[in-house]
């Protein structure tokens, strides 16, 4: 997973228009002289200047019009709900206005219109609920990240379904099902000889087996017998080649991985995994975050029990309180992959105080989408720490993990799809910004995953928030 930086500086012309509004607060001039943000007084928000400069390539702007000569999409009347003056109207949008056109429709699926803005894990941003209609049925993706995940999984399902197994696969299932019984029998009758015969390089077999049996399985994991039989290893190989998460909650994909994994583990079919590579925009990865790539390699090669053991060891080594570690490892919405990435990204931030504060926030996840939200958040914080400025502390302010840097001030990120300026969003933003300034009087920077309305850009800029980066992450 590599991170692409879209320049986020505002043009001089735009700043010249909005600079005067920085002084709306009573201490505005004094703070501005120190390079610190000041918040405007409540009410009286003005719309973005009509004469502002053209958007910089890194600014948040609507998608460009179709290229010259390209057929125009038929205009669709969209409802425009009324909004209070100075605030955005939230409205549905065509899928082609939200996603790259080549991703919206393929031979096996399409993103249905309209895409509906829905509440996210923060009142300051919204997710884009998307219906993904495929030849296998329709699934509701809670946000853009999950829509892209499901699109890639549909491509993977199509590849897997093309592998015929028939009666051969039935034999494979039977053989694979017997493997754990034979394996456990060998351990019980000849424990020393059996453990000596385990190949080197598979990790601490006893440790991960104990971890696997004593811990409750999450919705994302196979049973321990399937792991011993080699079925999950085959599934990991298949998933890694196709670029999908072997711990996905997509039951149709899991069924296909199980079908081929059992037949292959039973020795009845041979699968050329190199032929399963999924290509195209849906699988594009843009990043330079080598740490996530290294962690993904661990996920691809180690069973869930070993991932759990490693995550526990990682968290304990960094001094994470035992109560938080147990709750995180047992959390129902974090898959083994997400746990591995979060623990693996927190660990190298050795001199950062308050890493347990991020974990406290992560434990509030109440859905898979929220779990991905926190994974993406720590990916961006890690990118900031290693690529922009060291993070001395992670503070939990108004429920939001905020990175405090001696060099760059306060930094926070919103893994939401779009930021509209609404009364609720304004209240939440002002409450957070005031709380950050009360905690430490420093410049405030925001990086986002999605886009912002012009009104949001204007309102945040006049509050002194620096909109430095728009991030593009691997959506898994």
pLDDT for 290 equals: 74
Give the Cα separation of 150 and 109 in Å (integer).
Answer: 10
pLDDT band (50, 70, 90) for residue 291: confident
* CB of 20 closer than 8 Å to CB of 70: no
For 64-86, the pLDDT digits (tens) are: 443 444 444 444 545 556 778 89
- Pairing between strand 465-472 and 444-448? parallel
pLDDT for 77 equals: 46
pLDDT for 81 equals: 61
Residue 413, in any domain of the structure: no
Residue 386, in any domain of the structure: no
Residue 256, in any domain of the structure: yes
pLDDT for 192 equals: 38
Give the Cα separation of 80 and 82 in Å (integer).
Answer: 6
pLDDT for 392 equals: 98
For 156-202, the pLDDT digits (tens) are: 999 999 987 543 344 444 444 334 333 333 333 333 343 333 344 43
Give the Cα separation of 238 and 358 in Å (integer).
Answer: 33
For the chain, the three-class secondary structure string (H helix, E strand, C coil) is CCCEEEECCCCHHHHHHHHHHHHCCCCHHHHHHCCCCCCCCCCCCCCCCCCCCCCCCCCCCCCCCCCCCCCCCCCCCCCCCCCCCCCCCCCCECHHHCCCHHHHECCCEEECCCEEEEECCCCCCEEEEEEEEECCEEEEECCHHHHHHHHHHHHHHHHHHCCCCHHHHHHHHHHHHHHHHHHHHHHHHCHHHHHHCCCCCCCCHHHHHHHHHHCCCCCCCCCHHHHHHCHHHHHHHHHHHHCCCCCCCCHHHHHHHHHHHHHHHCCCCCCCHHHHCCCCHHHCCCCCCHHHHHHHHHHHHCCHHHHHHHHHHHHHHCCCCHHHHHHHHCCCCCCHHHHHHHHHHHCCCCCCECHHHHHHHHCCCCCHHHHHHHHHHHHHHHHHHHHCCCCCEEEEECCEEEEEECCCEEEEEECCCEECCCHHHHHHHHHHHHHHHHHCCCCEEEEECCEECHHHHHHHHHCCEEEEEEEECCCC
| Cis peptide upstream of residue 114 (ω within 30 degrees of 0) | yes
Residue 193, in any domain of the structure: yes
pLDDT higher at 267 or 139:
139
Residue 179, in any domain of the structure: yes
* CB of 353 closer than 8 Å to CB of 444: no
For 21-31, the pLDDT digits (tens) are: 333 333 443 34
Counting the structural domains of the chain, the total is 1
Residue 194, in any domain of the structure: yes
pLDDT exceeding 70 applies to what percent of the chain?
A: 63
pLDDT higher at 50 or 112:
112
231-253 b/e with 16+ CB inside 10 Å = b?
bbbbbbbbbbbbbbbbbbebebb
Residue 115, in any domain of the structure: no
| Domain around 263 | 164-270
Supply angle C-alpha 388, 390, 396, rounded to 5: 110
For 407-442, the pLDDT digits (tens) are: 999 999 999 999 999 999 999 999 999 999 999 999
Rg (CA), the chain: 25
Residue 297, in any domain of the structure: no
pLDDT band (50, 70, 90) for residue 215: low
For 20-66, the pLDDT digits (tens) are: 333 333 344 334 334 444 555 444 445 554 433 333 333 333 334 43
Residues whose CB is less than 8 angstroms from the CB of residue 463 and which lie 6 or more positions away in sequence, other chains included? 37, 38, 39, 40, 429, 430, 433
Give the Cα separation of 140 and 109 in Å (integer).
Answer: 13
């Amino acid at each position: 997973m590599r991170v692409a930086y879209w320049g986020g500086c505002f043009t001089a012309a735009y700043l010249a228009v909005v600079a005067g509004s920085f002084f709306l607060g009573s201490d505005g001039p004094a703070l501005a002289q120190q390079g610190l943000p000041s918040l405007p007084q409540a009410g009286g928000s003005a719309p973005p200047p009509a004469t502002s400069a053209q958007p910089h390539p890194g600014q948040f702007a609507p998608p460009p019009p179709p290229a010259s000569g390209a057929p125009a999409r038929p205009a669709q009347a969209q409802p425009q709900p009324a909004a209070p003056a100075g605030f955005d109207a939230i409205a549905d949008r065509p899928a082609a206005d939200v996603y790259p056109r080549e991703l919206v429709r393929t031979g096996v699926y399409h993103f249905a219109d309209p895409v509906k803005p829905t509440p996210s894990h923060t009142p300051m941003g919204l997710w884009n609920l998307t219906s993904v209609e495929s030849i296998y049925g329709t699934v509701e993706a809670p946000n853009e990240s999950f829509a892209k995940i499901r699109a890639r999984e549909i491509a993977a399902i199509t590849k897997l379904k093309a592998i015929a197994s028939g009666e051969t696969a039935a034999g494979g299932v039977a053989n694979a099902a017997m493997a754990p019984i034979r394996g456990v029998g060998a351990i019980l009758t000849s424990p020393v000889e059996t453990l000596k015969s385990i190949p080197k390089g598979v990790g601490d077999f006893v440790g991960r087996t104990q971890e696997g049996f004593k811990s409750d399985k999450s919705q994302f994991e196979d049973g321990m017998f399937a792991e011993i039989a080699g079925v999950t290893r085959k599934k990991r190989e298949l998933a890694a080649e196709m670029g999908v998460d072997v711990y996905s909650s997509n039951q149709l994909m899991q069924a296909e991985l199980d079908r081929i994994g059992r037949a292959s583990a039973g020795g009845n079919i041979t699968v050329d995994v190199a032929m399963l590579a999924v290509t195209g925009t849906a699988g594009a990865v843009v990043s330079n975050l080598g740490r996530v790539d290294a962690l993904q390699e661990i996920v691809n090669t180690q069973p869930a029990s070993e991932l759990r053991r490693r995550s526990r060891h990682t968290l304990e080594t960094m001094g994470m309180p035992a109560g938080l570690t147990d709750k995180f490892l047992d959390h129902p919405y974090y898959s083994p992959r997400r746990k591995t990435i979060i623990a693996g990204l927190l660990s190298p931030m050795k001199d950062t105080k308050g890493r347990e504060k991020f974990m406290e926030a992560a434990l509030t996840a109440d859905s898979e989408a929220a779990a991905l939200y926190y994974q993406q958040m720590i990916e961006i914080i890690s990118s900031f720490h290693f690529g922009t400025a060291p993070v001395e502390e992670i503070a939990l302010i108004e429920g939001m993990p905020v990175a405090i840097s001696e060099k760059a001030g306060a930094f926070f990120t919103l893994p939401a799809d779009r930021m509209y300026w609404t009364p609720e969003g304004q209240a939440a933003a002002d409450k957070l910004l005031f709380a950050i300034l009360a905690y430490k009087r420093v410049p405030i920077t925001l990086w986002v995953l999605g886009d912002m309305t012009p009104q949001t850009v204007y309102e945040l800029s006049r509050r002194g928030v620096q909109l430095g980066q728009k991030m593009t992450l691997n959506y898994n």
